[in-house]
Amino acid sequence: MTQDLIVTREGPVGRLRLNRPKAIHALTRDMCEGVLAALEDWRADLSVEAILIDHAEGRGFCAGGDIRLLAESGAGDGEAARAFFRAEYRMNHRLFTYAKPIVAVMDGITMGGGVGIAAPARYRIATENTRLAMPETGIGLFPDVGGGWYLSRLPGRMGVFLALTGHRLDGAEARALDLATHYLPASALGEAKAAILAAPQEIAATLDGLATPAPEAAIMAHAADIDRLFAADTLEEILAALEADGGEWAARQRGVLRAKSPQACKVSLRLLREGALTTDFADEMAREYGVAAHVVQRPDFIEGVRALIVEKDNAPRWNPATPDGVTDTMIDHIFAALPEGQAWTPDDR
């Protein structure tokens, strides 16, 4: 049976290789728990000096989580979905707080849960193949796995734009926004990995030496428009600003937002607003777990997965269908604290 996660030691480096190529390495609960176990084994092992995370074969680094499983669980009691989120967010937190340097190779599709693995790494490599996005509002979810932390810390209103629209960044754009620390041609990845395995103490020098100037980041040409048009804290005001602008780019973004779940967009706006004020990553993950536990059992997530993943008719019927139907009370319920004993913690306790 093929291993979905390949865990090896190569000299002084611990290697984690995602290995579900047919699913673009989408994460399962077992994969998340496997990463956690490996990181724990290597944490106190002085002979392990660094961690390298990449994918074994096929296109893309990681397309996200096992969305079908989450939707099936959400349509029932939600327990399997909560168990997945619990494990995934513990993995995200462990990566974020890990003392040893971690290198993530974001070659190809890096979305949702893939961003959750790569973003905490000290070194994040983008290539000409990188397509980085948090597209969750399109399936009625929200940019989780620390999205409220990372996106809220991007310059201006860039994080709000990415969270709401799910816009795909290429490698140059990821580098320009510091979501990647280095831009390498994909042809140089073999040399980079070999050098890291041989001399993990020299990771920074190795990547600096192999990095090439990234192409112009197209998204930066729209930074001022993003800051202006996405400045408001409410979805209704953002849509009104895009409507009033009259420009082609604004009209295109308004069309994109009209296709997203209004509930998911409002959840995302609040998540980033609260994430910007959060000073402990564990608090961020605890908040996101509570929100995920509620959202996964709401109609929009189940409907979004049906429309975009299962039946692929790309015609989700959101409920509520319009932003004004998503009330503050509804969002408050989604952000409500979980009952005692059900809240997320960084470790089993």
Sign of the alpha-carbon dihedral angle for 340, 147, 207, 9: positive
Q: CA-to-CA distance for 259 and 253, rounded, in angstroms?
A: 10
Catalytic-role residue among 14, 64, 108, 113: 113
Helix (H) or strand (E) holding 206: helix 203-210
The answer to whether 12 and 163 have CB atoms below 8 angstroms apart is no
Catalytic-role residue among 34, 64, 65, 108: 65
Beta bridge partners of 16: 7, 53
Distances (CA, A) of 342 to 142, 211, 242, 348, 349: 20, 45, 40, 12, 11
Catalytic-role residue among 4, 33, 88, 136: 136
- Confirm whether 136 is a catalytic residue: yes
Catalytic-role residue among 66, 144, 170, 173: 144
- Confirm whether 108 is a catalytic residue: no
Q: CA-to-CA distance for 264 and 271, rounded, in angstroms?
A: 10
- Confirm whether 288 is a catalytic residue: no
Cβ-proximal residues to 237 (8 Å cutoff; 6+ apart), any chain: none
- Confirm whether 216 is a catalytic residue: no
Cβ neighbours of 276 (radius 10 Å): 13
* Strands 50-55 vs 102-106: parallel, antiparallel or unpaired: parallel
The single-letter code of the amino acid at 315 is A
* Strands 102-106 vs 13-18: parallel, antiparallel or unpaired: unpaired
Catalytic positions are: 65, 113, 136, 144
